[in-house]
Amino acid sequence: MRAHVVLFALVASACGMFAQTPTPRPKFDAFEVATIKPAPLDNKSGRYIRIEGTNRFVEKYYTLKLLIAAAYDLNPHEISGGPDWMDSEHYDIVAITPGDLRPTREEQMGMLRKLLADRFRLSFHREPRELSIYVLEVAKGGPKLRDSAKPDEAPALINVVYPASIKLPARNVTMGDFVSMLQRAVLDRPVVDKTGLTGKYDFDLEWAPDESQFDGAIRPASTDENAAPLFTAIQQQLGLKLVATKGPVDALVVDKAERPSAN
């Protein structure tokens, strides 16, 4: 009887071992299928990139320059060259990612880089340049950030547009994540992180946008709105500050780009 009990325990232990084996992540080398269409001129849904469900990648109302900025984590002012339409014609993309696991943002951008090369025939080179930049630093009095409540989860960093302000509920983000979002989506120049902060944080930021932000795609707040301007809000609410200066960047120069190939 004892031998049967031991055997059962060993079998159960082995089954438990196999059951707990994590699903291997797919190689997110490229989208399985992608549809690219010119965006309608009367766009009313805003401009965004997001994953819907587990593996449906959706991009709305981006120009090729903005797609390059997203894919290579750049401010649009770091991108030059290419055809005239690169900064004026807008596109919508719907694509399916491989497997049954939700890709991380970096995995999504890797697949977007492959799509730009294959469908837009994008080629480029890099050049060191000195540009106007912002440096993110810790303000006097120190940072006002909460340590992440769920550091093992994926970062969440999405601007929510309201009539009078922008609200950013940031969860489990690094300063690198924050700086990347600021330079890609909000500000009109590259941003460099010099805070020295290395953790993951939760914070809430609210500000009144102006005409220099979001590439002019969002209506500036009126002067009688309650929300503070971005630079003031970052200092008051986060204990950080943006400093305007000049500095070296690794700029991207487009050598070739074509309108996207047929779906």
Question: In this predicted model, what pLDDT tens digit does every residue of 6-26 receive, in sequence order?
Answer: 444 444 444 455 555 666 788
Amino acid present at 38? P
DSSP state of 46: -
User: In the structure encoding, which two tokens stand for residue 206, read together?
Assistant: 């609210």
Lookup result for tokens 């009144």: 208
Q: How large is the average pLDDT for residues 228-238?
A: 96
Q: What is the pLDDT of residue 112?
A: 98
Q: Is 137 left (phi over 0), alpha (psi -120 to 50) or beta?
A: beta
Q: What mean pLDDT value characterizes the chain? A: 89
Q: Which pLDDT band, with edges at 50, 70 and 90, does 183 fall under?
A: very high
Question: In this predicted model, what pLDDT tens digit does every residue of 76-108 receive, in sequence order?
Answer: 999 999 999 999 999 999 999 999 899 999 999
Q: ∠ CA(252), CA(135), CA(143), 5° rounding?
A: 135
How many whole angstroms separate alpha carbon 196 and alpha carbon 137?
8
Task: Mark 136-158 as b/e (b = at least 16 C-beta within 10 Å).
Answer: bebbeeebebeebeeeeeebebe
Q: Which pLDDT band, with edges at 50, 70 and 90, does 223 fall under?
A: low
Q: Are 58 and 108 in contact (CB under 8 A)?
A: no
Give first-to-last CA distance, the chain, whole Å: 66
